[in-house]
Amino acid sequence: MKPDHSPSPRPLPLIAALACAAAFAGAQGCQLVGFVGASVGRASDHDVKARYTGLADKNFAVIVAADRAIQADYPDIMSVITGEVTRRLADPKNAVGAAGMVAAEDVLKFQYQQPSWVTLSPTQIAEKLGVERLVFIDLQEFRLTDPGNPYLWNGRASASISVAETENDLGVTTAFREFISVKYPDNDSSSPQEIPSSTVQIVLLKRFVDRASWLFYDHEEANIIKY
């Protein structure tokens, strides 16, 4: 949802001041209210602007690349990321403002029917798909544990995300590039006995889709976010 930039009431400082003056006349009372105020501040949200806004009024497609090892371990990973990121960017509530998009199913069909697509540049892929913007997600890492250690979860997902502009007058085909990396769990001591593998995979994937999608539209993030 597009953030509302209109002024919003902020009653906490007034409440804190009144509490300190009346019920908590002593120093300990003011310290307590200050602690509560700081805790609320840490728990609230803040607005974050899109890193790339060039999808506005353009047709786009999302395509995901991953090496054979990732595809072998997680056969559905490319289709899920393609579908979820496309859905987020096409959702009117996120106000990306694109003129249109290629459905995820059609992109996946293109990849299946033309295995040689991996030899094409992002700009060539954009031209074949008939779009002005190609969101290219190069998934470089997706794993639930460290290599050789199946006893503790240490899920990580990393990717280079770029946008190819087919009509860029400057001759620059890649107009935007960002590297993202997320992890789950947040500690390094969770075992399969505590968290099932399906939960680790779902949460890790959700965090990755959040970070990949948030690059393209204004959104809110918690002041303290773990990914």
- For 193-210, the pLDDT digits (tens) are 999 999 999 999 999 999
Residue reference for tokens 């960017």: 89
Q: What's the pTM value of the predicted model, to 2 decimals?
A: 0.79
- Using pLDDT thresholds of 50, 70 and 90, give the confidence band for residue 29: very low
**99 SS3 class:** coil
CATH code, residues 59-222: 3.40.50.10610
Residue reference for tokens 């106000």: 95
- Using pLDDT thresholds of 50, 70 and 90, give the confidence band for residue 188: confident
| For the chain, percent of residues with pLDDT exceeding 90 | 71
Contacts of 142 (CB under 8 A, 6+ apart): 66, 70, 73, 74, 77, 156, 157, 158, 204, 208
* Adjacent-strand bridge partners of 48: 219
Res. 136: pLDDT tops 90: yes
Integer CA distances (angstroms), 65 to 139, 140, 157, in order:
6, 8, 13
Q: What is the pLDDT of residue 42?
A: 55
Calculate mean pLDDT across residues 58-87. 97
Mean residue pLDDT of the chain comes to 84
Res. 96: pLDDT tops 60: yes
* Beta strands at 59-66 and 133-143: parallel, antiparallel or unpaired: parallel
Which range, 40-44, 79-83, 165-169, 170-174, is most confident?
79-83
Between 12 and 122, whose confidence is greater? 122
Res. 10: pLDDT tops 90: no
Between 209 and 3, whose confidence is greater? 209
Q: What is the pLDDT of residue 121?
A: 87
Residue reference for tokens 């939960």: 199
Helices (H), 60-103: 68-73, 77-90
Res. 216: pLDDT tops 50: yes
Q: What is the pLDDT of residue 170?
A: 61
For the chain, give every domain's residue range.
Answer: 12-43, 59-222
C-alpha 24: how far from its chain's center?
43
Torsion angle, alpha carbons of 166, 167, 172, 176, to 10: -60
Calculate mean pLDDT across residues 99-114. 97
| For the chain, percent of residues with pLDDT exceeding 70 | 79
Closest CA to 134 of 93, 175, 164: 164
Indicate the DSSP class of residue 120: S
Calculate mean pLDDT across residues 34-40. 45
Neighbours of 53 (CB within 10 A): 14
* Adjacent-strand bridge partners of 59: 100
How far is the C-alpha of 98 from the C-alpha of 120, rounded, in Å? 24
Calculate mean pLDDT across residues 13-28. 37
Q: What is the pLDDT of residue 50?
A: 96
The region, left, alpha or beta by phi > 0 then psi within -120 to 50, assigned to residue 95 is left
How far is the C-alpha of 217 from the C-alpha of 48, rounded, in Å? 9
3-state helix, strand, coil in the chain (%, to 5): 40, 20, 35
What is the number of alpha carbons within 13 Å of residue 163 lying toward its C-beta? 23
